[in-house]
Amino acid sequence: MARTQGSRAEITGPLVRDAARRLFARHGYAAVSMRQIAAEVGVQVGTLYSYTADKQALLADLLRVHMEELLAAWRDDPARPALDRLEAFLRFHIQTSLERPEAVFLSYMELRNLTPENRAEIAALRRRYEDALEAILIAGEAEGTMAVPDTRLATMALIAMLTGVTNWYREGGRLDQERVVAVYRELVRGAVGA
């Protein structure tokens, strides 16, 4: 498995990140060793340290990049009806969760294995994502098209519900993605009193 010499820097970097993401998601950050990651990539342990300062930075980078991509990809239009925005958010969240289940899973499971500094940074990004949903609920209340007892709590509840998809969804399983979106749309619309 272990190659002998030969430089492939352009591809090794992404491979390290991919392997780490996959293994961290499957077994948990603390349970995965740098040796396992190296083996998955097909490289020796020492080589990993050309691509990351240490194991902690590897995790923090995965989470940071994922959250930044998430925030950059989310497009909201405050001028539209809140219910439409809610459906768009739901579709966006589920689609992301099914396209990149490992990154999504990691981002809410491994916060506690970050150093305090890294945790604060990632938590702030996540907070911005939660705020994007809460803004929609607040707008819906103002419009009179939604009725939620507590927008903050409802936000947390809805995100927990949507993120749960990563726990049970299996590619090629009973339900395809459009069907999942349809079911969640009904649940979410009901929950916000539409």
Partner DNA sequence: GTCTATACCTCGATAGAC
Partner DNA sequence: GTCTATCGAGGTATAGAC
Alpha-carbon gap, residue 83 to 41, rounded angstroms: 45
Rule CB under 7 A: is residue 39 a binding residue for DNA? no
Q: Is 108 in the site for DNA (CB under 7 A)?
A: no
Q: Under rule CB under 8 A, which residues in 129-148 are in contact with a second copy?
A: 148
Question: Applying CB under 7 A, which of residues 20, 32, 67, 83 lies at the interface with DNA?
Answer: 32
With CB under 5 to 8 Å by kind, the binding choice for 72 among DNA, a second copy, none is none
Amino acid 67 reads M
Q: What is the DSSP string of 65-134?
A: HHHHHHHHH----TTS-HHHHHHHHHHHHHHHHHHSHHHHHHHHHSGGGS-HHHHHHHHHHHHHHHHHHH
Nearest distance, CB of residue 23 and a second copy, angstroms: 12
Judged by CB under 8 A, does residue 190 bind a second copy? yes
Residue placing its CB nearer to DNA in the complex, 8 or 128: 8
The closest of 117, 15, 11, 12 to 57, measured between CA atoms, is 117
Residue pair 136/82 in contact by the 8 Å Cβ criterion: yes
- With beta carbons less than 8 A apart as the criterion, state whether 28 and 110 touch: yes
- The answer to whether residue 115 forms part of the interface with DNA (CB under 7 A) is no
* Region 97-126 residues binding a second copy, contact defined as CB under 8 A: 109, 112-113
Judged by the rule CB under 8 A, the positions of this chain that interact with a second copy are 26-31, 109, 112-113, 148-150, 153-154, 156-161, 163-164, 167-168, 175, 180, 182-184, 186-188, 190-193
